[in-house]
A = this chain, B = another copy of it.
Amino acid sequence: MVDVAQLAGVSPSTVSRTLRGLTNVTPDVRARVEQAARELNFAVSRQAASLVTGKTGAVAVLVPTLNSWFIGTVLDNLGPMLRAAGMELVVYVTPNMAERASFFERLPARRNADALLVFSFDLTDEEATRLDDLEMPVIYVSQHAKGRASVYVDDVDASRKGTQHLINLGHRRIAFFQTIGPSGFVFSTHERLTGYRQALAEADLAFDEELVVASSADDERGIVEAVGQLLTLREPPTAIFVDQDQVAVSVLWSLRRAGIEIPNHMSVLGFDDHETARWADLTTIAQQPADIGRAVGELYQTLVNDPEADREQHIVLPTRLIPRNTTAPPPRDAPAPGV
């Protein structure tokens, strides 16, 4: 920076002021400084700046994986917003429990970021409490943390709408297929199961544990087995609600291989409105990760710039049912309700 100052014939302070876009600089001087900076290919060192300002200019993101449509889409939309605000995005990937434990033990973001976005979906209370020590705004994405800022879709309501759609079509035996993540069920899965149960209860349908199956998303055999399990029940379902589109598509394949026609013999409902849902012509409940990304970006701005802002606010985004061709009324010969 001194080099730039020298070349422009001003003091370092002036260079600093100019480069940060402060107003009190003569246009003439500003031009000279900018010219000099360009000539010298100069960029301000964030490190040195943060040492004095106390801000790091970075926002940390905690994710279990980066190989995820949801997380990827959120970040694709969030990234440019943060960038526009002059912030870097530093990512902590914790693909296994060891990495995750190490993150919570060392809390590496501690003095090295101005805010933390948590995508881990299934934090324990203990972990969340640990993050409270961080002395920076923490935003929870896709899970509601009590008393902490969060952005998510209303999974309970969404799932209830989906189940109602099946009930309205005439289904009485509706299975629920849960996805297991690398570290167990994630937050949304619980919520979606709750919505399913609510809808059943509202329609006076009994909840049947046999109709709830689970498998890991990337475990092909597990999915096939879970589907097989449903098909061999004494009273098999006429519809399956799968809590993720990508798994739902696998379920479709399994069913078709078992010779089951969709939607005539079995309805399948997904969740997400992932691209493959369009391909598979899958009825699904749409959530918009792009919107979530933008909402997170805005909430971040609010929390950082407005000290008056509610630091525990929850932003809930809408979902909607997208009817396509994998759901239909149940087959005529299905057991009539109550028989």
What is A's interface to B at a CB cutoff of 8 Å?
41, 43-48, 50-51, 56, 58, 65-69, 71-73, 75-77, 79-80, 83, 88-93, 95-96, 99, 102, 106-108, 110-112, 133, 218, 220, 249-250, 253, 275-276, 278-280
Partner of A43, one of B75, B96, B102, B107: B107
Q: Indicate the member of A51, A66, A75 with the most B CB atoms within 10 Å.
A: A66
Q: Which of B46, B58, B76, B99 contacts A66 (CB 8 A)?
A: B76
Tell me whether A66 and B56 are in contact (CB under 8 A): no
The verdict on A56 contacting B67 (CB below 8 Å), with A75-B93, A76-B93, A93-B79 known, is no
Contact assessment for A72 and B80 in the assembled complex, using a CB-CB cutoff below 8 Å: no
- Can you report 14 A-B residue pairs in the complex whose CB atoms are below 8 A from each other? A41-B110, A43-B106, A43-B111, A43-B112, A46-B111, A47-B111, A47-B112, A66-B79, A67-B75, A75-B93, A83-B92, A88-B90, A88-B108, A220-B278
Query: Do B83 and A76 have beta carbons less than 8 Å apart?
Result: no
Residues of B within 8 A of A71 (CB): 66
B111 contacts A45, C-beta separation under 8 Å = yes
How many copies are assembled?
A: 2
Across the interface, name the chain B residue whose C-beta is closest to A45.
Answer: B111
Q: A47-B47, A80-B93, A249-B276 are in contact. List 20 more A-B contacts (CB 8 A).
A: A43-B106, A43-B107, A43-B108, A45-B111, A46-B47, A46-B111, A48-B51, A51-B51, A65-B72, A66-B79, A67-B69, A67-B72, A67-B76, A79-B95, A80-B95, A80-B96, A88-B108, A89-B93, A218-B275, A253-B280
A44 to chain B: which residues have CB within 8 Å?
Answer: 111
Contact A65 B58 (CB under 8 A): no
Of listed A56, A80, A278, residue having the most chain B CB within 10 A: A80
CB distance from A242 to the nearest CB of B (A): 14
Residues A90 and B89 in contact in the complex (CB < 8 Å), given A46-B112, A51-B47, A68-B72:
yes
User: Which residues on B sit within 8 Å (CB–CB) of A47?
Assistant: 46-48, 50-51, 56, 111-112
A43 vs B45: C-alpha distance when bound (angstroms)? 21
CB distance from A33 to the nearest CB of B (A): 16
**CB of A1, distance to nearest CB on chain B (Å):** 11
